[in-house]
């Protein structure tokens, strides 16, 4: 009987330790921070553009400034969460004009940083930066649409994701 209790106590302790270890591993695998994401994006672009160390250092500084300005513009014009069906015509008009203003500001920032990037990158390399951003934005938009059920897993419109029971 004594062996049984000792065995049960050891089993309970090892199970608890194993569960804590798994929980710690899950926490370590959590999503990267915004700063880590930016660093990964910069490393990817540096590799894609095949930059040497000196150019990569210049690029990193300028790209961080550029990215910060773009993020500020996007955040300042973020939707307020109201669905289009519940908006009045005046609210839709104001939202549309705000989007035009946001687009102008984004264009101004892109032109400003195009000149800065061109001081140490070729026109082809700058184009790769902008194309990379557009590809990323398209992927994010598509994943959001999938999550909302507007596209299925294979990309066909109108298919809602199936729930696995």
Q: Per residue in 8-24, pLDDT tens? A: 667 666 666 666 666 66
Contact 94, 102 (CB under 8 A): no
Distance (Å, whole) CA 135 – CA 154: 18
Q: What pLDDT, on a 0 to 100 scale, did the predictor assign at position 165?
A: 43
H helices present in 77-122, as ranges: 89-118
Contacts of 115 (CB under 8 A, 6+ apart): none
Largest Cα span, the chain: 81
Q: What is the pTM (predicted TM-score) of this model?
A: 0.66
Distances (CA, A) of 69 to 9, 35, 65, 145: 58, 15, 6, 26
Q: Say if residues 66 and 109 touch (Cβ distance below 8 Å).
A: yes
In the beta sheet, which residues pair with residue 157?
151
What tens digit of pLDDT does each residue of 71-96 get? 999 888 776 666 777 888 998 898 89
The residues, ordered by sequence, that sit 6+ positions from 158 with a Cβ below 8 Å of its Cβ are: 150, 151, 152
């Amino acid at each position: 009987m004594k062996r049984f209790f000792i065995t049960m106590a050891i089993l309970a302790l090892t199970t608890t330790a194993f569960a804590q270890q798994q929980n710690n591993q899950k926490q370590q695998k959590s999503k990267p921070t915004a700063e880590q994401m930016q660093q990964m994006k910069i490393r990817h672009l540096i590799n894609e553009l095949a930059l040497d160390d000196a150019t990569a250092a210049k690029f990193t500084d300028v790209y961080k400034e550029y990215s910060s300005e773009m993020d500020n513009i996007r955040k300042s014009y973020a939707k307020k969460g109201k669905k289009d069906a519940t908006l009045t015509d005046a609210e839709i008009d104001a939202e549309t004009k705000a989007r035009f203003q946001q687009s102008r500001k984004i264009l101004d920032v892109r032109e400003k940083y195009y000149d800065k990037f061109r001081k140490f990158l070729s026109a082809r390399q700058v184009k790769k930066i902008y194309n990379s951003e557009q590809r990323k934005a398209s992927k994010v938009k598509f994943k959001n649409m999938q999550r909302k059920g507007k596209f299925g897993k294979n990309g066909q419109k109108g298919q809602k994701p199936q729930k696995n029971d």
